[in-house]
Amino acid sequence: MSFLRRLFSSEATKAGRSTPQVFFTNTLSGKKELFVPLKAGQVLMYSCGPTVYGPAHIGNLRSYVFSDTIARTLEAAGYRAQRVINITDVGHLVSDADEGEDKMAVGATREHATPEVIADRYSKRFLEDLRSLNIDAEAIRFPHATQYIREQIALAQTLEQKGFTYRIADGLYFDTEKFPGYGKLGNFSKADLEAGARVAVAYGKRHPTDFALWRAAKPNDLQRWESPWGKGNPGWHLECSAMSRSLLGTEIDIHTGGEDHIQVHHNNEIAQSEGASGRRFVRYWMHNAFLTMGGEKASKSLGNVVYLSDIIEKGFDPLALRYFFLQAHYRTPLSFSWAALEGAQSALAGLRKISFELADESGKRTAPSEARERFLAAMRDDLATPQALGILWESLKSDEYAPREKWGLVRDAQLHLGLTLDVPLVGDHIALADVPNTVRALLEEREAARAVKDYARADELRAALESAGYLVEDRPEGPQLSRALRKK
């Protein structure tokens, strides 16, 4: 958790206020519900992570800004969040229905590298993308599926002992007919579920919705492990059940993912986890709608994807993408276009300009206001981010609120929306008085190095300033600072 968020959360706790009410739409009931955690003041949260065979596209990133917004809203309300995002580095087959190509093998072949090298490359890149979007990766655990093979085998063994499985040549399968209420998430009919699955993919499979817990090794597999069922690979639904249980416990508060995961992946996670424990797995299932490109779901297999690196290369601030996501409610499909991203970037720039001026006018002191109450109510009402942004804009532009009240709103907006508002715009000149002492010291040391013509040292200090987020330009009247884009 960032310092600011910890400070604010502890403020709420110190003040002895009871945790405010927060409402979320639970896919399990299809309704908006009051959030009641398992343990008071704590939230256990699991988000389905990416398969690291290539970079995450901005559709995937919508999913993580969504789960980050849940965590921020709960933390600002005084909860302590424990978060897990899994890294899928086992080569699963391209479709949910256990067929197609092994994704890690696709990446390895494309880049002439081993699956391990590919996984390392793209899991690092994923974390960088999250950081660029102001997602505090240090506060999240990222277990890799390949490091939890033992736990996955143990879970499959429990299911086998409890009679939920059967063996065929292809491996160990989960018998969905044996799990009462299979498909309860999303309230799918048997016909829907069967249409979503594929019949007879594996010889001997009993029902279309049955799925692999363990797949027998195939001759060209690049990854394989020993198991009680012979050499092979865990089925792709198994890792989330096993890692969630290992890191967060048998029952958790919130599980998130994109809505494409509801029908198969999450219903299968429920069958595995609840079949094994005999208890409820997740209290609140939450799903984001798709990011679309030209009317279609953005997906690697459709080839219509944009990466965060494309956005940064075009000169956008990565947080313009975060702003763009927040303009739509997480349950509404959102259509990406470069023009819309430009709109988000200029709106963000506008907010930053107002906030930067307010920092001066308010002396960075906050005061409560009715606008802040409305902002918080919107965020706690199923993360109504479009309304919250509307309240923010309207209140910051209004003459009705004093600078300290407005600054209070800016701080709340930073905490909940993760937009970093109180910084000058990229390219804007920054007065020396506005930079932290550490940055000023670097700048002074650089001037001293330049004065004795130690240009190598001056260059090192320029690089240090840039990593701290400041560009330095040498002008006749002296060095000028402006904000640098966060370094990748």
* Interface ranges with ligand AMP (CB under 6 A): 48, 50-51, 59-60, 62-63, 257-258, 260-261, 288, 290-291, 297-299
Residue nearest to ligand AMP (CB): 258
Looking at the Cβ atoms of 9 and 244, the one nearer to ligand AMP is: 244
Task: Give the SS3 label for residue 254.
Answer: strand
Count the Cβ atoms, other than its own, within 10 Å of residue 162: 13
> In whole angstroms, what is the distance from residue 147 CA to residue 292 CA?
33
Instruction: Select the span of 3-11, 40-48, 173-181, 194-202 touching Zn ion (CB under 5 A).
Output: 40-48
Looking at the Cβ atoms of 174 and 290, the one nearer to ligand AMP is: 290
Looking at the Cβ atoms of 241 and 355, the one nearer to ligand AMP is: 241
- List 47's β-bridge partners, or say none: 85, 256
First to last CA, the chain: 21
Looking at the Cβ atoms of 92 and 446, the one nearer to ligand AMP is: 92
Instruction: Select the span of 46-54, 114-122, 188-196, 413-421 touching Zn ion (CB under 5 A).
Output: 46-54
> In whole angstroms, what is the distance from residue 420 CA to residue 442 CA?
23
- Rounded to an integer, what is the distance from CA 161 to the centroid of its chain? 35
- Does the footprint of Zn ion cover residue 145 (CB under 5 A)? no
Q: How far is the CB of 103 from ligand AMP (least distance, A)?
A: 9
Q: How far is the CB of 40 from ligand AMP (least distance, A)?
A: 29
- Does the footprint of Zn ion cover residue 242 (CB under 5 A)? no
Q: 256 near 46, Cβ under 8 Å?
A: yes
Q: Is residue 393 within a helix (H) or strand (E), and if so which, with residue range?
A: helix 385-397
Count the Cβ atoms, other than its own, within 10 Å of residue 32: 11
* Contact partner at residue 240 from ligand AMP, Zn ion, none, CB < 5 to 8 Å by partner kind: Zn ion
Count the Cβ atoms, other than its own, within 10 Å of residue 238: 31
DSSP 129: H
How many residues sit in the footprint of Zn ion (CB under 5 A)?
2
Looking at the Cβ atoms of 37 and 50, the one nearer to ligand AMP is: 50
Helices (DSSP H) in 166-297: which residue ranges?
A: 190-196, 238-248, 267-277
Q: How far is the CB of 11 from ligand AMP (least distance, A)?
A: 33
Q: How far is the CB of 287 from ligand AMP (least distance, A)?
A: 8
* Contact partner at residue 299 from ligand AMP, Zn ion, none, CB < 5 to 8 Å by partner kind: ligand AMP
> In whole angstroms, what is the distance from residue 235 CA to residue 290 CA?
25
* Contact partner at residue 268 from ligand AMP, Zn ion, none, CB < 5 to 8 Å by partner kind: none
Q: How far is the CB of 197 from ligand AMP (least distance, A)?
A: 18
Looking at the Cβ atoms of 287 and 462, the one nearer to ligand AMP is: 287
* Contact partner at residue 186 from ligand AMP, Zn ion, none, CB < 5 to 8 Å by partner kind: none
Q: How far is the CB of 261 from ligand AMP (least distance, A)?
A: 5
* Contact partner at residue 297 from ligand AMP, Zn ion, none, CB < 5 to 8 Å by partner kind: ligand AMP
Looking at the Cβ atoms of 245 and 261, the one nearer to ligand AMP is: 261
Q: How far is the CB of 48 from Zn ion (least distance, A)?
A: 3
Tell me which residue of 406, 401, 277 sits closest to 351, measured CA to CA.
406
Instruction: Select the span of 190-198, 228-236, 238-246, 292-300 touching Zn ion (CB under 5 A).
Output: 238-246
* Contact partner at residue 260 from Zn ion, ligand AMP, none, CB < 5 to 8 Å by partner kind: ligand AMP
C-alpha separations of 59 from 50, 87, 293, 333, 469 in Å: 11, 17, 9, 10, 27
* Contact partner at residue 364 from Zn ion, ligand AMP, none, CB < 5 to 8 Å by partner kind: none
Q: How far is the CB of 206 from Zn ion (least distance, A)?
A: 24
* Contact partner at residue 76 from ligand AMP, Zn ion, none, CB < 5 to 8 Å by partner kind: none
| 121-124 CB contacts, 8 Å cutoff, 24+ apart | 121/52, 122/50, 122/52, 122/53, 122/54, 122/55, 122/56, 123/52, 123/87, 123/89
* Contact partner at residue 275 from Zn ion, ligand AMP, none, CB < 5 to 8 Å by partner kind: none
Q: 348 near 319, Cβ under 8 Å?
A: yes
* Contact partner at residue 322 from Zn ion, ligand AMP, none, CB < 5 to 8 Å by partner kind: none
- Does the footprint of Zn ion cover residue 52 (CB under 5 A)? no
Task: Write the CB contacts of 175 (distance below 8 Å, at least 6 apart in sequence).
Answer: 164, 165, 166, 206, 207, 210
Burial environment of residue 184 by CB neighbours within 10 A (0 to 12, 13 to 18, 19 or more): middle
Task: Give the SS3 label for residue 458.
Answer: helix
Residue 232 is which amino acid?
G
* Contact partner at residue 366 from ligand AMP, Zn ion, none, CB < 5 to 8 Å by partner kind: none
Interior angle at CA 380, CA 273 and CA 328, nearest 5:
90
- Does the footprint of Zn ion cover residue 240 (CB under 5 A)? yes
Looking at the Cβ atoms of 261 and 406, the one nearer to Zn ion is: 261
- Does the footprint of Zn ion cover residue 48 (CB under 5 A)? yes
Residues that bind Zn ion (CB under 5 A): 48, 240
